[in-house]
Structure 1
Amino acid sequence: MKFINAEVFVDGKFQKVDFEVKEDKFTLIKDGLTSDDHKDCVDCEGKLILPGFIDIHSHGCVGYDFISANVDEIEKMCEFYASNGITSILATTMTIDPEIHKQAMRNIKEAIDTKVKGSRIVGINMEGPFLGVDKRGAHDPKFLMDIDNNFFDELNQLSGNNIRIVDIDPKLPHSNEFIEKYSDSLTVSLAHTSCTYDTANKAIESGASHVTHLFNAMNGLHHREPGIVGAVSDNDVHAEIICDGIHIHPSVIRLMFKAESDKLILISDSMCAAGLEDGIYELGGQKVIVKDYKATLEDGTIAGSTVNVYEALKRAIHFGVPKEKAILSATMIPAKSIKAEDQIGSIAVGKKADFVILDQDYNIEKVYRDGLLI
């Protein structure tokens, strides 16, 4: 199948190129196919084509959560993600009773092994329980714990070794030893911490290469105490950013994209209310109130978001982020952060044929995963 006459996002910019898909891969990209090539063509005149979006940090949507969903419910979630152009997802767990966490890993493994419909689950983001109590956010403090290699190994084994990101507070005992042990095989992210700039730098020197939801659940940037934000600026690491206009003010989003756009990853950090209306929900066993699409615990603590990455992308552009930078932060940069850029994240020969066809106003018209219309 060939797709012609669209403005295609290739190599970080929109270009008037045509491309061919065979089986599940992009096999040809060129300035213009010859008339002899125009068999089995899809004419995309006036359309935009983007790589499939990637969300590496989402807890749930449409009433379900990866920490408690069975395989059928996970499939419903993945179908919702795919309908929004999100073709790859990291199933994100959180701090919970250890036995529930273990069952979640089994369920996600089964969903991966059975290849559920919709968005492709490329792995797991384990957010908790190795987090700081003082910056716990919506994580239940009674289940937080110090770093425990044996518990992590058990969870990873139950998941089928599918954990791609593990989040830790670098202030916890033995954090640097943990980072040194695991950072070659997966991405270690600094999260839910009041650590200083120096502590963050030591963790990065040990092998941490990622920061979870920048500005949220950490100390703010101060001119004498730059904290993790300063460490991100000074090091070759990736940093997630929640672009819903609630977690971070649009001015700060613009500032960070001007300063560090090649490091930023748009995430949803969505909870089960994403895709649904205001109401009462649950996250990690705790009551969550959603009003005007803002999710909070009963004490007012923000408890994840109700957006998805496609909505976050549109909001970033609306806030004034250059569209090319926003698109890269929803496609190629998250792929790099989990060492999957050779498979997904861009429209390039040999990569998975994941792409989204949109109109000029960024309204989704069609979504393809592995070369097949979803």
Structure 2
Amino acid sequence: MILRNASVFVDGKFIPSDVTVSDGVFQNIQTKEEGTTGLEKQEEADSYDLSDKIIIPGFIELHSHGCVGYDFTTSAPDEIEKMCEFYSENGITSILATTMTIGYDTYKKAMQNIKEACENHTKGSRIIGINMEGPFLGASKKGAHDTRYLLSINEQKYEELNELSGDRVRIIDLDPDLPGAIPFIEKYSKKKVISLAHTSCTYETAVTAIEAGATHVTHLFNAMNGLHHRAPGIVGAVSDYPVNAEIICDGIHIHPSVMRLVFKAFPEKLLLISDSMSAAGLADGPYELGGQKVTVKDGKATLDDGTIAGSTTTIYKAFKKCIEIGIPVEDVVLSATLYPARAIHAENEIGSIAVGKRADFIIMDKNYNIEKVYSGGKLLVSH
């Protein structure tokens, strides 16, 4: 398959190019500045003129709990597949199934269900691992996590959950203030990504955790102390140290002004996520998250006490929101593709359009509307 004359996102910028895809990978990327290399002689039946179209890598979602009425923590494998179909319709080609603090037996079943869904996957986005958000979180910044099921740092329980998943956990979210957190980070950061999450920790504690091996921060600004000029907290640590930070760009979790500020301050560290719950893709109304009642009104999901309970957005909506409020499109693409891949050490396979990498990509019109989504060179979605 040859995709001709598109504006292709290569090496952090849009370049007019011809792209050849075969055997599930990008085989050739011929930029117009370099002239041609005989691509015109290829079989015309597999050649497509994409003049006035844009090609970007497939979106990578590192943090989503659910959509279209389902949740990774409570859904059966066939329901998870329905979620993956929705994700792919919104440009996501790779996703981390994100779990939620819940009763331990339910958590164990969730890991088994995700494992089965991965082993029998046939439709939609690929699940490339698990983001284990909870139960090792702080009660003071629990957000929508149920206090009854929060646990102290427990290596044995983590090991059991990971084993049930088939060793699919890629991100472990934890509060660095919990007893035993720093030794846990030192031990497991050698194989897994450790994310600082749902914590009242100080800047100093965050730095200690980063020096111990933490490389990730869960939904920056949310479920943590805010940035203060004498107490910079995790936000200050993100600015000072080489860590990645998730950011929910739905216009609800973070004010657009703050979104613009951090994209100016450290764009190369930001990872676009949705943190979506089961209401994503559906209408306002009553839902559930982690066993707790959630009400969605005007697209905002809250618990009965008004606490924000995840989002109803998608990476695609967040992508367009960022562009709408004036963030450079190149920064937004990177934060939804290459940077998430790099954050979980998958950048050699996915996250960019480069020779030899898996052919996960989106074809868009000039207004960034999705037209087609491909995974491994195979068409997933055609709008």
Common fold by TM > 0.5 = yes
With the length of structure 2 as denominator, give the TM-score of the two structures: 0.97
The match for 2:161 is 155
Count of matched residue positions in the alignment of Structure 1 and Structure 2: 374
Query: Are residue 9 (structure 1) and residue 9 (structure 2) matched?
Result: yes
1:244 aligns with 2:244: no
Paired with 2:236 and 2:259, the residues of 1 have a C-alpha distance of 15
Alignment partner of 1:218: what SS?
Answer: coil
Q: What residue in structure 1 maps to residue 352 of structure 2?
A: 346
Out of 194, 208, 218, the residue aligned to residue 212 of structure 1 is: 218
Q: Which residue of 1 aligns with 2:235?
A: 229
Q: Which residue of structure 2 lines up, in the alignment, with residue 28 of structure 1?
A: 28
Q: What letter is aligned with 1:80?
A: F
Q: Per the alignment, in what secondary structure is the counterpart of residue 113 of structure 2?
A: helix
Q: Compute the RMSD of aligned alpha carbons.
A: 0.7
| Separation of aligned partners in 1, 2:317 and 2:351 | 18
Gap regions ≥5 residues in structure 2: none
AA aligned to 2:310 is G
Tell me if 1:281 matches 2:287. yes
Amino acid at match of 1:365: E
Structure 1 segment 30-109 matched on structure 2, within 5 A: 30-31=30-31, 32=36, 34=38, 35-37=40-42, 39=44, 40-109=46-115
- Is contact 1:6-1:18 (8 Å) kept? yes
Q: How does 1:306-321 map to 2 (within 5 A)?
A: 306-321=312-327
* Mapped pair 1:198 → 2:204: yes
**Deviation digits for residues 259-285 of structure 1, max 9, x if unmatched?**
010000000000000000000000000
CA distance in 2, matches of 1:320, 1:298: 34
**What is the deviation of 1:36?**
1.1
Look up the equivalent residue of 1:351 and give its one-letter code: K
Q: Distance in 2 between matches of 1:33 and 1:227?
A: 53
Structure 2 CA distance for aligned equivalents of residues 251 and 14 of structure 1: 26
Are the equivalent residues in 2 in contact too, given 1:124–1:163 (CA < 8 A)?
yes
Deviation of the 1:292 alpha carbon: 0.2
- Distance in 2 (CA, whole Å) between partners of 1:41 and 1:49 is 15
CA contact (8 A) 1:335 1:344 kept: yes
**TM-score after normalising by structure 1:** 0.99
Aligned with 1:29: secondary structure? strand
1:367 corresponding residue in structure 2: 373
Instruction: Give the match's secondary structure for 2:225.
Output: coil
SS at match of 1:340: coil
Partner residue, 1:267: 273
CA distances 1:285-307 after superposition (whole Å, capped 9, x unpaired): 00000000000000000000000
